[in-house]
Amino acid sequence: MKDNKRKVILFIALVLVAIVIVVLAIVFSKKETKYEHSASKNVVASLNANSQAEVDKLIREDLEENKHTLENAKIYIDPYGNSPLSALIAFKTDSKTSVKVTVKGRHGDDITSEHKEAEYHYIPVYGLYQDYENKVEITTGTGEKTTLRISIDKIEGLPSMKVNARTEEAYKDGIYLISSPISMSSFGIDSYGEIRWLPSERYYHDIEVLNNGHILIGGNEIADNSLASKIYEMDLLGRIYNEYEIAEGYLGDFYVKSNGNILVASKKENRATYSDYILEIDHDTGKIVKYWDIIEALRTIDPTYGNDLPEGYFYNAGIEYEESSDTLLLTYWGGEFILNLGYSDNAVRWIFSDPKNFNTSFESVLLKGSEGFVYPKSMHSATLTNDTLRVFDNGYSTNIGEATISNLAGSHSSANTYKITGNTITLTTAIDEDKSLFSYALADYRIDGNRETILFGRELKNVDYSKNVNINEWSPLTTRLIENVSGKKVLDIEIDQATQFVEAIDLTKNVNFDFETAGAFTTLKPSLKEDLTVELKNQIKSATEKVDYNFGYSKNYIEHDIAFMYSDEAKLILINDKEEGTVYTLKVKDEKQSKKIVTDLSSGSYYVYILENGKMFKTDSKIEIK
């Protein structure tokens, strides 16, 4: 009897051992790491409270100290507080090895990227879903494998999507980055209409993908003239690599040349119109290396050109540099024309516009259509390949002020392709969605081989053409994103907000990450300054009255909140404990003031004094220049 009991006990023990072995085998073969977003909030919050450089340092020091293995990889969701649908995975391997990462798609649309050999690995993960437990598979070149589960909380207030049509030929190697007008968020979606990238800050104007996998995108900072003033180079983690400040601001589209330099449509100081002053900004220094004055170029044809033009006449809707012809191609929505201009000689090659928009002086440079040719109205995003011109025709005239909806029945927009022969032009194709879409103000038209991506960015939804209301006051607005491959529609997505530009980004390539020091560049010139004289030092010593002015310092310039009268004059004085410093002009009498002082002072701690209308004042401000 005892022998039978022993046999039964031994059998049960063997079964239990076998079960344990099987379970352990499954666990170690999968090496699956469960990671919940909620568990990471304290870590992320502590990181986001720091500057980018401090976040970099914390991440690197943690891995160097703790040497997390792949099985126990450290996962940082949105480490820079600027991209909640992205994460950074940090782990160490025993030797240098490559890494393959696959973000599992909800619709079978997995995205796999390869990462270069390293021993200490910092792997960016892009394209995560919100309100979802994401599965991310990691395989090293030495054969280690693991699966991470990354839960992202629900994000409120996102635009909704409706996929009207989709085929398997729709873009699948990445996502569509879509920028929005001022006060709206930009975002990235896949071909299923799922939001896969979302910056926490507001970025708008253009988005351009760089060869290194980073993006250039407009920031929400505003110049004194109310134009956008900054462009950022960042990765999809939201880590900033460079920022470029344009002193007189810019509007709309910008373009990246093959050498990395950036073309922007800026404003000439003291001129009413904007976007008629094109700048080329050096990618590595942020300095202006070349400029084109569009009004002056057009005045070589008509010396009176530009007199009394409305402020928005040159509203920038497209900048391109055509390397083969060494020309700029500029699309002006406000003036309803495309200008082809010599890059090197600033000479007008041709203009494409309804001849009614220009006087007879321009007849020799206007492209002409044959009898019955229908000229486009306001336009966006022109591109030129040899003799083929592509442009989005908004179908809305800014010149004649077609502003009342009741006058616009039957209007439609289209993406047009033209052929240029000499000084004649013919329409070859028009993508107009059966003339059912009317995006009067915003649009984009991108070409990549046989793939065309068209953004009807300000489509009037459920429009009632019997209404006697201004078109700019109509609501609701939508976007239609259309993609064609070899002339066949492969995607049609409706987005419930207005948008501005679209650019596809390949998430299978150029997704390596580094801790490169961020650069901050400006086209602002150092502010006018004077020596700190003995007389001024004596006035500082005897100053008794204090003014409640606030100053802040960041990246070579000082900002303030002072509202001077037009007739005031003032100087900003910075002085250290050694009585060394300088004097900057803060406000010139009877001139417009600036909120920024660009300083080239050496590093140190400086007290701030104000010489206002001849009287010296103390402040509570102290500025640390690094």
- Whether residue 476 is preceded by a cis peptide bond, meaning omega within 30 degrees of 0, is yes
pLDDT at 68 over 90: yes
Question: CA distances (Å), 32 to each of 26, 41, 111, 127, 144, in order?
Answer: 10, 21, 19, 20, 12
Q: Which residue has the higher pLDDT, 298 or 40?
A: 298
pTM higher than 0.75: yes
pLDDT, tens digit, 9 for 90 and up, residues 183-231: 678 999 999 999 999 998 888 889 999 999 999 999 988 888 889 999 9
pLDDT at 2 over 50: no
CB 327 within 8 A of CB 314: no
Q: How far from the centroid of its chain's Cα atoms is residue 220's Cα?
A: 10
* Residue 63 amino acid letter: L
Q: How far from the centroid of its chain's Cα atoms is residue 612's Cα?
A: 40
- What proportion of the chain, given as a percentage, has pLDDT over 90? 72
Task: Tell me the mean pLDDT in the region 554-561.
Answer: 76
**Which CATH fold would you assign to the domain 526-625?**
Immunoglobulin-like (2.60.40)
Q: To 5 degrees, how large is the angle CA 463–CA 467–CA 470?
A: 85
Q: Is 161-521 in the same CATH topology as 32-152?
A: no
CB 316 within 8 A of CB 265: yes
CATH 2.60.40.10 is right for the domain spanning 32-152: yes
**Residue 19 pLDDT grade (very low, low, confident, very high; cuts 50, 70, 90):** very low
**Residue 25 pLDDT grade (very low, low, confident, very high; cuts 50, 70, 90):** very low
Task: Please state, as a whole number, how many other Cβ atoms lie within 10 Å of the Cβ of residue 346.
Answer: 17
**Residue 48 pLDDT grade (very low, low, confident, very high; cuts 50, 70, 90):** low
pLDDT, tens digit, 9 for 90 and up, residues 123-151: 999 999 999 999 999 999 999 999 999 99
How would DSSP label each residue in 332-377?
A: ETTTTEEEEEETTT--EEEEES-GGGS-GGGGGGB-B--TT-----
Average pLDDT, the chain: 89
Lowest mean pLDDT among 127-141, 242-256, 427-441, 546-560: 546-560
Task: Tell me the mean pLDDT in the region 579-585.
Answer: 91
List the domain boundaries for the chain. 1-30, 32-152, 161-521, 526-625
* Residue 132 amino acid letter: Y
pLDDT at 305 over 50: yes
| pLDDT of the residue at 43 | 46
Element (H, E) at 295: helix 294-299
| Three-state DSSP class for residue 357 | helix
Strand arrangement of the beta sheet that strand 424-431 belongs to: 379-385, 388-393, 414-421, 424-431
| pLDDT of the residue at 27 | 35
pLDDT at 182 over 80: no
Element (H, E) at 480: strand 477-485
* CA torsion through residues 494, 497, 501, 503, sign: negative
Place of tokens 């400086």: 606
CATH architecture of the domain 161-521 equals 6 Propeller (2.120)
| pLDDT of the residue at 32 | 37
pLDDT at 33 over 80: no
**Residue 590 pLDDT grade (very low, low, confident, very high; cuts 50, 70, 90):** confident
**Residue 164 pLDDT grade (very low, low, confident, very high; cuts 50, 70, 90):** very high
**Residue 508 pLDDT grade (very low, low, confident, very high; cuts 50, 70, 90):** very high
| pLDDT of the residue at 555 | 66
